[in-house]
């Protein structure tokens, strides 16, 4: 099978060797970030042309100044929309873990570059799972950092409420090294207690993922972590509000892209146009009202329950290339809760698990523990 490279712009510095050590610190970035001479395209070349010349985004510069080598910018879904990595303008990169399956999206190239050993880590954005979904599809670590607005201030922001900075890495050491450049990390152990909304897991996961998730739960309990059920009511109510009154992230994306849509005459992929059409012309007041109603049940949940939230990253294995099967559903809650979240692939389990928490250090401790149980790649199927 021909491998489709994950790069949209190759900067000619050379990829890291597969046996690279700590001295080789190469990275890539999603097309939501500017690199001098290469404006962010958001997965659509017309967007980049309209964006004009801009300096390199601050978060990219931060890593370059720390000694990391920017190898390339990476392919992504059109307008960062598809969780399956679809794009009319660019090819979908091959999933190095499962070549016949989708690499996920929207940060498809980021995940493929890391999984293929081309870079140590990649910078992405995560609006409702845009970094963690492809990380899970390609069997790598995916971290979404809340409160990272300062690093996104000069990047393409589509949903001010939900957008987070994503970091994908091949292993825990590479992830930890990258995060150390973004925030001061205190020492943390595994959380003593985590909660699982069991109704969501029981009703939305296929059997293979449910079995794999239960094995992870047993592993955590064997390590002394109290894994306890919690009510799914807040999550279901959040979805019910948005099912009847509009999806918050879509309303914010429509507002953020309004000028672009006017410039291109709404010539976007049908699946993008159809989903955003109901939100064109929404007032700021209407969006804020939807935001309040959608977030209220989640905020009430967090007032009652502060333990980190444990879920599978995906409800099913990554679908075959070309499938229209949705694979989101769980990842969005961390963004709506304004919490950081990490997706970790599990050896021998065939699925990735996700923890949402306030503290990045707890998420890295979770990653470190699961990595110690074995290599982070599930079995091929």
Active site residues: 30, 106, 130
Query: Can you give the C-alpha Rg of the chain in angstroms?
Result: 19
* CB proximity list for 240: less than 8 A, separation 6 or greater: none
Which tokens sit at 64? Answer: 């370059």
Are 327 and 84 a contacting pair, CB within 8 Å?
yes
**Tokens 């074995």 -> residue:** 374
| DSSP assignment of 91-131 | PPPP-SSSTTB---SSSHHHHHHHHTTS-SEEEEEESSSTT
Q: Label the pairing between strands 26-30 and 69-74.
A: parallel
Q: What is the DSSP letter of 330?
A: S
How far is residue 272 from each of residues 40, 55, 80, 230, 231, measured CA to CA in Å?
19, 29, 10, 35, 33
Look at residues 126, 99, 136 and name the one whose alpha carbon lies nearest to residue 6: 99
Please state, in angstroms and rounded to a whole number, the distance separating the CA atoms of residues 224 and 286.
46
User: What are the b/e assignments for 300-335, b being 16+ CB within 10 Å?
Assistant: ebbeeeebbbbbbbbbbbbbebeeeeebbbbbbbbb
Are 365 and 219 a contacting pair, CB within 8 Å?
no
């Amino acid at each position: 099978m021909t491998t489709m490279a994950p790069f949209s712009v190759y900067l000619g510095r050379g990829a890291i060797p597969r046996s690279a050590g700590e001295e080789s610190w190469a990275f890539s970035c999603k097309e939501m970030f500017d690199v001098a001479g290469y404006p962010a395209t958001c997965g659509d070349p017309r967007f980049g042309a309209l964006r004009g010349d801009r300096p390199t985004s601050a978060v990219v510069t931060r890593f370059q100044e720390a000694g990391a080598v920017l190898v390339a910018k990476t392919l992504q879904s059109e307008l960062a929309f598809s969780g399956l990595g679809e794009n009319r303008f660019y090819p979908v990169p091959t999933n190095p873990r499962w070549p016949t399956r989708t690499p996920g999206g929207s940060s498809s190239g980021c995940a493929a570059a890391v999984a293929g050993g081309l870079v140590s880590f990649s910078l992405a954005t995560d609006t409702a799972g845009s970094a963690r979904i492809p990380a899970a599809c390609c069997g790598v670590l995916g971290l979404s950092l809340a409160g990272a607005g300062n690093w996104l201030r000069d990047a393409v922001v589509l949903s001010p409420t939900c957008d987070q900075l994503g970091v994908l890495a091949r292993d825990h050491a590479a992830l930890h090294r990258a995060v150390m450049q973004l925030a001061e990390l205190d020492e943390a152990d595994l959380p003593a207690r985590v909660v699982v909304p069991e109704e969501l897991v029981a009703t939305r996961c296929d059997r293979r993922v449910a079995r794999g998730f239960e094995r992870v739960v047993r592993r955590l309990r064997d390590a002394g972590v109290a894994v306890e059920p919690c009510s799914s009511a807040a999550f279901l109510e959040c979805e019910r509000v948005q099912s009847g009154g509009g999806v918050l992230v879509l309303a914010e994306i429509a507002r953020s892209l309004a000028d672009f849509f006017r410039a291109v005459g709404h010539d976007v992929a049908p699946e993008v146009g159809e989903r955003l059409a109901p939100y064109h012309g929404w007032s700021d007041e209407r969006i804020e009202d939807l935001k309040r109603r959608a977030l209220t049940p989640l905020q009430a949940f967090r007032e009652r329950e502060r333990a980190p939230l444990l879920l599978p990253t995906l409800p099913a294995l990554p679908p075959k290339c070309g499938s229209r099967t949705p694979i989101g559903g769980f990842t969005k809650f961390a963004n709506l809760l304004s919490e950081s979240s990490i997706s970790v692939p599990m050896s021998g389990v065939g699925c990735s698990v996700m923890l949402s928490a306030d503290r990045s250090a707890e998420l890295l401790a979770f990653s470190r523990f699961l990595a110690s149980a074995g290599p982070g790649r599930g079995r091929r199927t």
